[in-house]
Structure 1
Amino acid sequence: LRSNATHTVCTCRHLSSFAVLMALYPVEPDYGLEMLTKIGLSLSLVCLVLSILTFKFCRSIQGTRTTIHLHLCICLFMADLVFLVGISQTEPEGGCRLVAGLLHFFFLGVMTWMLLEGVQLYRMVVLVFNATIRPLYLYLFGYGIPLAIVVLSAIIRPKGYGTKQHCWLSLKDGLIWSFFGPVCFIIILNIFFFIITVWRLAQKFTTLNPDLSKLHKIRAFTVTAVAQMCILGLMWVFGAFLFDEGMTVVEYFFTILNSLQGVLVFVMHCLLSKQVRDEYVQFLSCICTPQKKRYSDFSSTNPSSSQSQGSRSGQHTGESQI
Structure 2
Amino acid sequence: MINVVNCSSILDTNFSWAVKIPKEAVNKSRQENNGCAFVVVLQFKNMTNKNQTNNQTVLNNAVYGITMRANISNLTDNIEMIFTQNDKVSEASCVSWDGKGELEWTTVGCETEINNNTIKCSCSHLTFFAVLMSLPDADVTAPYLETLTLISSIGCGISIFFLSIALFMHFLLRKAKSNQATKILMNMFVSLCLLNAAFLSNESVANTQDNTACVFIALVLHYSMLASFTWFFIQALHMYLWLIRQNVTITNYMRKITVLGWVCPAPVVVVIVSFGGYKAVTLNTTSGKIARMCWITNPYIHYIVNMGYYSLVFIFTTGIFIMIVTKVVYVRIIRATDDKRKTFRKQLMMVLSLFLLFGLTWSVAFFSYGPMIIPSYYIFTVLNSFQGFFLFLYYYHIHNDVAGHFTDDPESTDSNTIISQSSINAVENIHN
**Normalised TM-score (structure 2):** 0.48
What is the alpha-carbon distance in structure 2 between the residues aligned to residue 224 and residue 170 of structure 1? 39
For the pair 1:118 / 2:236, whether they are aligned, the reply is yes
Instruction: Find the partner of 2:138 among 2, 8, 25.
Output: 25
Aligned residue in 1 for 2:181:
65
- Higher radius of gyration, 1 or 2: 2
Whether 1:43 and 2:169 are equivalent positions in the alignment is: no
Check the 8 A contact 2:230/2:261 in 1, yes or no. yes
Task: Give the total of aligned pairs.
Answer: 242
Unpaired runs of 5+ in structure 1? 1-22, 208-219, 279-322
State the shift of 1:78 in Å: 0.7
Query: Which residue pairs with 2:380 in the alignment?
Result: 254
Structure 1, residues 206-235: CA drift from partner, whole Å, max 9, x if none? Answer: 99xxxxxxxxxxxx9997586344576333
Q: 1:202 to 1:110 in 2, by over 3 A?
A: same
> Could you tell me which residue of structure 1 aligns to residue 269 of structure 2?
150
**Corresponding residue number in structure 1 for 2:253:** 134
Whether the 8 Å CA contact 1:33–1:255 is kept in 2: the answer is yes
* 3-state DSSP of counterpart to 1:130: strand
Matched, 1:95 2:213: yes
Write out per-residue CA displacement over residues 128-149 of structure 1, whole angstroms, 9 at most, x where no aligned residue.
2536862221221001111122
Summarize the alignment of residues 1-322 of structure 1 with structure 2, pairs less than 5 Å apart.
25=138, 28=142, 30-56=145-171, 57-59=173-175, 61-90=177-206, 91-125=209-243, 126-130=245-249, 134-155=253-274, 157-164=275-282, 165-197=292-324, 224=350, 227-230=353-356, 233-243=359-369, 247-274=373-400
In the alignment, structure 2 segments of 5+ residues that lack a partner are 1-135, 283-291, 335-345, 405-432
CA contact (8 A) 2:364 2:379 kept: no
SS, match of residue 167 in structure 1: strand
C-alpha change, 1:106 and 1:221, in structure 2 (3 Å) is farther
Higher helix share: 1
Measure how far apart 1:64 and its partner are. 1.1
- Please give the secondary structure, in 2, of the residue aligned with 1:48: helix
In the alignment, is the contact (CA less than 8 A) between 1:153 and 1:178 conserved in 2?
A: no
Point out the structure with the larger strand share.
2
Residue pair 1:161, 1:170 contacting (<8 A) in 2 also: yes
Q: What is the CA deviation profile of residues 275-297 of structure 1, one whole-angstrom value per residue up to 9, with x for unaligned ones?
A: 69x9xxxxxxxxxxxxxxxxxxx
Percent identity between the aligned chains?
19
Change (3 A) 1:35 1:238: same
- Give the whole-Å Cα distance in 1 for the aligned partners of 2:392 and 2:325: 24
Name the structure 1 match of 2:68. none
1-structure distance, mates of 2:219, 2:383: 23
Q: Which has the higher contact order (CA 8 A, sep 6+)?
A: 1
Cα distance in 2, alignment partners of residues 256 and 202 from structure 1: 29
**Rounded Cα–Cα distance in structure 1 between residues aligned with 2:332 and 2:247:** 14
Which moves more between the two structures, 112-121 or 127-136? Answer: 127-136
User: Could you tell me how far 1:193 is from its partner in structure 2?
Assistant: 2.9
